[in-house]
Amino acid sequence: MEQAISVVRHCFGLGITLFDTANMYGDSEKKIGAALESVRDQIVLASKTLNREAEGAAEHVDHSLSSLKTQVIDVYQLHQVGNPETLDRVLAPDGAYQALSKARDEGKIRFIGLSSHNVQIAIQACKTGRFDTVQVPFNFVERDLAEELFRVAEEMDMGIIGMKPLAGGVLERADLCFRFLQQYPKVVPIPGIKGQEEADEIIELYRTTRALTEKEREEIERIRTELGTKFCRRCEYCMPCQQEIHIPMALGFRAFVNRFPPVGTIALLDANMKKAETCIECEECVEKCPYELPIPDLIKENLSLYREYVKLHT
Amino acid at 32: I
Residue 205 amino acid letter: L
Question: Can you tell me the distance from the alpha carbon of 73 to that of 133, in angstroms, rounded to the nearest whole number?
Answer: 14
Burial of 220 (0-12, 13-18, 19+ CB in 10 A): buried
| Beta strands at 109-115 and 187-189: parallel, antiparallel or unpaired | unpaired
Q: Which is nearer to ligand SF4, 109 or 251 (by Cβ)?
A: 251
State the minimum distance, in angstroms, from the CB of residue 259 to ligand SF4.
17
Instruction: Report the C-alpha gap between 62 and 122 in whole angstroms.
Output: 26
Shortest Å, Cβ 223 to ligand SF4: 17
Q: Which is nearer to ligand SF4, 100 or 238 (CB)?
A: 238
If phi > 0 it is left, if psi is from -120 to 50 it is alpha, else beta; for residue 267 that is: alpha
In angstroms, what is the minimal distance from the CB of 140 to ligand SF4? Answer: 16
Pair 140, 171: CB distance under 8 Å: yes
Question: Site residues (CB under 6 A) for ligand SF4?
Answer: 232-238, 241-243, 245, 247-248, 251, 279-285, 289, 291, 293, 295-296, 299
Identify which of residues 37 and 244 has a Cβ nearer to ligand SF4 in the complex.
244
Q: What's the min distance (Å) between Cβ of 4 and ligand SF4?
A: 30
Identify which of 46, 11, 28 has the alpha carbon closest to the alpha carbon of residue 206.
Answer: 11
The order of strands in the sheet holding 44-49 is 18-20, 44-49, 73-78, 109-115, 133-137, 159-163, 187-189
The smaller minimum CB distance to ligand SF4, of residues 23 and 118, is found at 118
Write down the least CB distance from residue 132 to ligand SF4, Å: 27
Min separation Cβ 219 and ligand SF4, Å: 23
Task: Give the nearer residue to ligand SF4 in terms of CB position, either 8 or 295.
Answer: 295
62 Cβ contact list (under 8 Å, min separation 6): 108
Q: Which is nearer to ligand SF4, 70 or 139 (CB)?
A: 139
We find the least distance from the C-beta atom of residue 168 to ligand SF4, in angstroms, to be 12
Nearer to ligand SF4, 144 or 216 (CB): 144
Shortest reach from residue 226's CB to ligand SF4, in Å: 16
The alpha carbon of residue 18 and the mean position of all alpha carbons in its chain are separated, in whole angstroms, by: 15
- Whether residue 290 is preceded by a cis peptide bond, meaning omega within 30 degrees of 0, is no
Q: Residue 7 or residue 166: which is nearer to ligand SF4 going by CB?
A: 166
Contact criterion met (CB below 8 Å) for 112 and 73: no
Single-letter residue type at 52: R
Distance of CA 141 to the CA centre of its chain: 15
List, in sequence order, every residue forming a beta bridge with 159; answer none if it has no partner. 133
